[in-house]
Amino acid sequence: MLQQTQVGTALPYFREFLKTYPTLESLARAQENQILSSWSGLGYYSRARNLHRAAQIVFERHGGEFPRDYREARQLPGIGRYTAGAILSIAYGEPLPILDGNIRRLFARYLKIEQDLGRTGTEELWKLLTELVREPSVAKDIGDFNQALMEIGSLVCTPRNPQCHCCPLAESCRARKEGMQEVLPRVRKQRSSQEFHYTVALISRGEEYLLKQNSQETFLRGFWEFPRVGGQPTPHIAETFRKVHDLDLKVNGWAAPVTHQITFRKLNFHPALVALQSPAPEEHFTWAKPGENDYPISSYVRKILRNVES
């Protein structure tokens, strides 16, 4: 949950998740729909799918115990070099390094690395850390060592205004010595944000809405959404819905648009309040209360409903 997400945001989800899936077995046996529902609002849903699949593999192939072996751990979905190192060093005391954004920044400053820490620079850091954690004095408390690096990186050697005056590494930090702590690390240009527009059709029947499962796009895959078409509203929108979804609609009005950010994509949704003129095709569609366990929804659907129902 903490990948790309702050602790404060993840904490209530984490607590609720543990209540719903208190054991590895309960997680392994759950349906993907239920997991996505529990995750709904946290975003980056591949994390939830990977966690689910990893729990199933650990349950089926490893007797319910997370593997101690690095190569076996790396074969689990969603377990990369960093996560395997973090779990195995903290849980089992294996002398493995970890390198996340905080630690990369910390070392870029501590060692005064001036080159852009792209892929090659990061590889060199991994090598250096791998040697460092094999030192007996580090290896004997590897879990504490790795956690200390993460904490110093996130709380002391912060992206802006690093707290050098209270940093335990200040004496030997090269960036601090040369007054370069504010300019390092050199940052690559961020991928620019892309903007997308969609028109969605809100078709209600009592408390239920007509929903369609997203089985196409990589983002929001598996979620239930209002039928949507690409682009901003046009006078011919009913015709577009007929072509794309085989739905016969009459537009009665519009609700306030909502925006939703997924990584570099800024998604703008324009909700049309519509009436069905003839029954919806049965395949792919369902009438449901959005958010019910079997029908996980993205938080953008929730935002639209809040606007419509308030």
Residues within the interface to ligand SF4 (CB under 6 A): 106, 109-110, 156-157, 162-164, 167, 169-170, 173, 175-176, 181
Q: Shortest gap between Cβ of 180 and ligand SF4 (angstroms)?
A: 8
Given the complex with ligand SF4, which of 10 and 180 has the nearer CB atom?
180
Given the complex with ligand SF4, which of 74 and 174 has the nearer CB atom?
174
Task: Tell me if 47 sits within 8 A of 79, measured CB to CB.
Answer: no
Cα-Cα-Cα-Cα torsion 214, 199, 307, 211, nearest 10 degrees, comes to: -30
Given the complex with ligand SF4, which of 144 and 292 has the nearer CB atom?
144
Given the complex with ligand SF4, which of 184 and 280 has the nearer CB atom?
184
* Residue for token pair 């959404």: 225
Given the complex with ligand SF4, which of 27 and 149 has the nearer CB atom?
149
Q: Shortest gap between Cβ of 172 and ligand SF4 (angstroms)?
A: 9
Rounded to 5 degrees, what are φ and ψ at 153? Answer: -65, -40
Q: Shortest gap between Cβ of 105 and ligand SF4 (angstroms)?
A: 8
Short-list 302, 293, 310, CA closest to 37: 293
Q: Shortest gap between Cβ of 157 and ligand SF4 (angstroms)?
A: 3
Q: Shortest gap between Cβ of 148 and ligand SF4 (angstroms)?
A: 12
Q: Shortest gap between Cβ of 246 and ligand SF4 (angstroms)?
A: 59
Task: Tell me if 221 sits within 8 A of 44, measured CB to CB.
Answer: no
Q: Shortest gap between Cβ of 127 and ligand SF4 (angstroms)?
A: 20
Given the complex with ligand SF4, which of 179 and 206 has the nearer CB atom?
179
Q: How many CB atoms lie within 10 A of CB 152?
A: 20
Given the complex with ligand SF4, which of 155 and 275 has the nearer CB atom?
155
* Residue for token pair 């370069």: 180
